[in-house]
Amino acid sequence: MARVVVDVMPKPEILDPQGKAVTGALQRLGFDGLTVRQGKRFEIEVDGDVTEDRLEEIRKAADTLLANTVIESFTVREETVADQAANR
């Protein structure tokens, strides 16, 4: 089964209250010098092969459903077996 990963992040010019809260909490816990932005990660298991058409379809899905493109940007990429192994 092939896997595609869609990362959705708040655009740089958009305030990110969740990220701000996490940044503050880390500082209070003694983790200094870290600035956090928080987004979403979607792992999509694709039936069959990941063709360019299939990726285009997933980009469309991300654009309609997964990201609010007014305030968020997204990236779509196929995750290779090596990536999956590295993420164990």
Q: Which parts of 45-74 interact with a second copy (CB under 8 A)?
A: 45-48, 57-58, 60-61, 64-66
Taking CB under 8 A as the rule, does residue 42 contact a second copy?
yes
Pairwise CA distance, residues 42 & 67, whole Å: 10
Distance CA 46, CA 80 (A): 13
Residue 81 and residue 88: Cα distance in Å, rounded?
11
**Min dist. Cβ of residue 80 to a second copy (A):** 13
Positions that interact with a second copy (CB under 8 A): 7-9, 19, 22, 25-26, 29, 31-48, 57-58, 60-61, 64-66, 75, 77, 86-87
